Structure 1
Amino acid sequence: MPATRSRRAPTKGDQRELALLDAARVVFRDKPISAVTIDELAGAAGIARSGFYFYFESKQALLAALVDQVVGEVDSEMAEWLASDGLDRGALRRGLQRSLARWMVDGRWLREAFIAPDPGPDMLQVRERLFTTGCTLFRARIERDLRAGLPVGGPPELVATMVLHLRNMTFADAFAKPGLHTEDELLDTLTDAILRLVYGVTP
């Protein structure tokens, strides 16, 4: 008889930590990250200021946890393409479409966190965390295709970093200038640009 593995139910602490992260997303949609206070974040999550420090030692620590969430969401959005082989344009486009939908909601703070030219030393550390972690699965996929004999347009780690920059800049512009291009124009062009960058060809 196979062994069963118990799954721990979320504790109140888990729920409050998630509530802080969810509240931060909402607050950061309306105000610059640098202007948001610990009191605002705690209040939006329905806990006392002292409660904030039970879960996060600083706003920087909360941002780092929020970046981890974003990386996990990107991995989930792109999971179909990351698990496939070869160009698979359809899977790549579907993943980018899911990511674009998230950017159109959270684009304000995502732009500040990952695009702003001078976000300050704390945000630079968070940004580095995103690119270091976010490129891992993408790089692994490129390396897998390289071993399978597909041509790749450069060192996998560098190519993965370039793709991440291209995607973020494209989505940041889409958030800042809604309606400038249709969703189909944006997604088709970005999908083909990524495939050309990685493989030198498009389907």
Structure 2
Amino acid sequence: MAADTTGGTVRRRDRPSKGALREERILDATRRLVTERSMADITIDDIAAAAGISRTSFYFYFPTKQAVLAALMEQVWERFGQTHGWFASSGPTRADLLDQLRRVAEMWQENSKVLACAMPGGFAVGYRPLEEFVGRAKQRFVDGLAEKIRRDRAAGLAPEGVDAAVLARMVAVVRDHRISEITDLPEEQREGALDELATVVLRMIY
């Protein structure tokens, strides 16, 4: 290493540890496997083999398959949080809303198999840590939208009416249900469906 002016050494940029890389391999392997068959049909041996590690090594990083799924969900929901740019705008700003919906739909499609595990009837139902995490992630959307509704109402840009938090939850239910349907549509139909969804959301709020 090159010496610094104080007689010490210049540290190289930190690299991911072997443990972090191995954990990421487990997540990547599970993500690939779940696109091929259901999580219920995937064994820990399957995940370990796909990640190139032993079953014993798997348990060093994750106690269960559900824990792996929870880690995958966390990555997905963090990305979802990055799509919430519309919340910072003032008023309807349809173009910003449509951009947000488009990005959400793209992410939903990319991660549909993982997200399906947390849906009613999915593999992760009953796994409390994951259910609690999904609940917090959804609440983040509701809180962000509710704050926008209150701000726009105070500015005279949106009419008074249903409590902002209640309205935000209603919008979330409509959005999530329709987005999951849109990702199953032929590609040429998705933009029109997203435009319709934007119209519904704006009419609910404004």
| TM-score in terms of structure 2 length | 0.77
Specify the alignment match of 2:185 in structure 1: 178
Cα pair distance change 1:118/1:43, threshold 3 Å:
closer
Specify the alignment match of 1:102 in structure 2: 107
Do 2:45 and 2:55's aligned partners in 1 also have CA atoms closer than 8 Å?
yes
Cα pair distance change 1:121/1:9, threshold 3 Å:
same
Do 1:93 and 1:191's aligned partners in 2 also have CA atoms closer than 8 Å?
yes
Pair member with larger Rg: 2
Tell me the CA shift for residue 121 of structure 1: 1.5
Structure 2: gaps (5+ residues): 1-11
Q: Which amino acid aligns with 2:130?
A: V
Q: Which amino acid aligns with 1:43?
A: A
Cα-Cα RMSD:
2.8
RCO comparison, higher one (Cα < 8 Å, 6+): 1
Identity of aligned residues (%): 30
Name which of structure 1's ranges 138-147 and 86-95 shifts more when overlaid on structure 2: 138-147
Q: How many residues align?
A: 191
| TM-score in terms of structure 1 length | 0.78
* 2:78 match: secondary structure: helix
Do 1:82 and 1:138's aligned partners in 2 also have CA atoms closer than 8 Å?
no
Q: Which amino acid aligns with 1:134?
A: K
Q: Distance in 2 between matches of 1:135 and 1:165?
A: 12
Specify the alignment match of 2:144 in structure 1: 140
Q: Distance in 1 between matches of 2:77 and 2:119?
A: 12
Specify the alignment match of 1:48 in structure 2: 54
Structure 1: gaps (5+ residues): 1-5
Name which of structure 1's ranges 130-139 and 96-105 shifts more when overlaid on structure 2: 130-139
* 2:91 match: secondary structure: coil
Q: Distance in 2 between matches of 1:186 and 1:118?
A: 29
Cα pair distance change 1:23/1:161, threshold 3 Å:
farther
Q: Which amino acid aligns with 1:184?
A: E
Cα pair distance change 1:159/1:184, threshold 3 Å:
same
Do 2:171 and 2:201's aligned partners in 1 also have CA atoms closer than 8 Å?
yes
